[in-house]
Amino acid sequence: MIWNQHIECMSREDMEALQLRRLQEMVDRIYYNVPFYRRKLQEVGFMPGDIRHLSDLSKLPFTTKQDLRDNYPFGIFAVPMSEVVRVHASSGTTGKPTVVGYSRKDLDNWAEVTARCLYMANTDRQGVVQVAYGYGLFTGGLGIHGGAERIGASVIPMSGGNTEKQLMLMEDFGTTLLGCTPSYAMHMAEVLEQSGMDRSRFKIKYGVFGAEPWSERMRKQIEDRWQIKAYDIYGLSEIMGPGVANDCDARKGLHIHEDHFYPEIIDPATEEVLPEGKKGELVFTTFTKEAFPLLRYRTRDITALHRETCDCGRTLVRMDKITGRTDDMLIIRGVNVFPTQVESVLLEFGEAAPHYQLIVEREGTLDKLTIEVELSAALFSDTVTGLSKLEARIRRRIDSVLGISADIRLVEPGRVPRFEGKSKRVIDKREI
Ligand code: DLL
């Protein structure tokens, strides 16, 4: 199902013409309306009217998270507060949050792109959408909510947590699509299995999961345990919130709504733009945002782009499933690893539950990784020899697939924390 055939299946030529026009308007707007950007653009000798090709974008400066912090709270807004109808914020681990603003038109465009995502996940006005992303300053809840209302589905605005009630209403209200983080979907599946409720009484068929990296193996586990189709939804508050991209039934990456958000991939070290298909840091320029436009925002997310037409018929550029963020990457004795790579190896073992945490410590000048892996309930009663054999098998597999040595600590079911929102997989004791 395609929500906006005209845009989502537009020829590359027409899309690029639209993007160029929108980029020219956007750069002019920030030049005249945002002193922060005027300064930045003047520093590189840019004059309004200088954008003649899309590739001219690569001459313009980046925006970083630090720029947003330096201009806290509303310093980069491009419209007066009387035009701002909503603010959201992402809670950083330290200090002040990153604040983002929306005009009425921005909310309208947000609902449009999120509607496209829900259509990709086979949900239309017949759908009953249970939103178990957090409502509040986090963009997840209200973002999905807006898209679901736009398509005319029936929305159940649950927010995160209260798992038993989520399940009860899911059964009673006939939810067909669930939106939440993949880690919470996993936790809900677990509570459902333990509750003795009858899965056949549920109508759920689809899920849109995101807000954190998750592996293909985690997707398989969620699909098997829930007996649903799980779609990957991506976004970040700085650019809009959920709905920047979503995957379709072809599962060949996530379609980016590039008529609103223009992606580039750069080498994070040299800041050079990389060619199609090469992995690097994802950078976004917003074309249509009025209240909080961003020029070449460095997301720190790592992916690659693909522009050939998808099997689903959409021509929208696709990005690979995000494997991690530049700031999530662990360097264990010189080897780079992302938590999702560890997750993928652990889930090869049927005996391991999909709950784990990575503990990184420093011993002298070397980093030491301990992986806490939760056992499935069935295996927990195994003999000590059985368990130490499993531990050795996991250690060898981590070593051979990822090239790192890690201590494996098998723990009893329920020991690793569960999450209602974004999960915390890494405990980095090196910073303490
Ligand atoms: O997490 C927005 C969102 C809400 C997306 C609900 C999807 C669903 P932030 O809190 O600003 O916004 O966090 C954004 O989360 O830069 C990625 O690192 C990560 N992220 C979001 N979606 C995915 C995904 C929301 N599908 C940051 N896969 C982003 C991997 C994701 N990482």
Minimum CA distance residue for ligand 1 atom 29: 236
Ligand 1 center–CA 234 separation, angstroms: 5
Residue to mutate (ligand 1; options 145, 236, 238; most atoms within 8 A of CB): 236
Candidates 288, 255, 429; CA nearest to 359 is 429
**Lookup: tokens for 4:** 């906006």
Report how far residue 206's alpha carbon sits from residue 109's, in angstroms, rounded to the nearest whole number: 24
Q: Which long-range contacts (CB under 8 A, 24 or more apart) does 111-114 make?
A: 111/146, 111/147, 111/149, 111/150, 112/4, 112/150, 113/147, 113/240, 113/243, 113/244, 113/257, 113/260, 114/143, 114/144, 114/146, 114/147, 114/148, 114/150, 114/242, 114/243
How far, in Å, from the CA of 132 to the mean position of ligand 1? 15
- pLDDT for the residue numbered 431: 66
User: CB within 6 Å of ligand 1 — which residues?
Assistant: 90, 133, 139-140, 210-213, 232-237, 241-242, 299, 301, 322, 325
> CA dist 265 to 65, 259, 284, 417, Å?
17, 17, 9, 34
Please give the pLDDT value at position 401.
94
268 secondary structure, DSSP code? T
Nearest to 98, CA basis, from 126, 129, 63, 123: 63
- Ligand 1, atom 15, residue with closest C-alpha: 211
Return the H-helix or E-strand segment holding 407. strand 406-411
- Give the pairing type, strands 229-236 and 86-90: unpaired
Candidates 3.20.20.140, 3.40.50.920, 3.30.300.30, 3.40.50.720; CATH matching 330-428: 3.30.300.30
Task: Tell me what pLDDT residue 362 has.
Answer: 87
Condensed to tens digits (0 to 9), the pLDDT of residues 26-65 reads: 999 999 999 999 999 999 999 989 999 999 999 999 999 9
Could you tell me where the DSSP H helices lie in 49-181? 65-70, 104-120, 139-151, 163-173
> What confidence score (pLDDT) does residue 95 get?
79
The residue to mutate among 232, 238, 301, having the most atoms of ligand 1 within 8 angstroms of its beta carbon, is 301
pLDDT (0 to 100) of residue 93: 60
What are the distances in angstroms from CA 323 to CA 143, 279, 355, 379? 23, 10, 17, 29
Which parts of the chain register pLDDT below 50?
none
Q: For the domain 1-327, what is the CATH code?
A: 3.40.50.12780
Q: How far apart are CA 165 and CA 168, in angstroms?
A: 5
Dump pLDDT digits (tens) for 243-259: 999 999 999 999 999 99
* Distance from the alpha carbon of residue 361 to the mean position of ligand 1, in angstroms: 27
Question: Strand order of the sheet with strand 297-303?
Answer: 261-266, 280-286, 297-303, 324-325
Query: What pLDDT shows up at residue 94?
Result: 65
- Locate the domains of the chain by residue range: 1-327, 330-428
Atom of ligand 1 nearest to the CA of 138: 10
**What is the number of the ligand 1 atom nearest to the C-alpha of 321?**
28
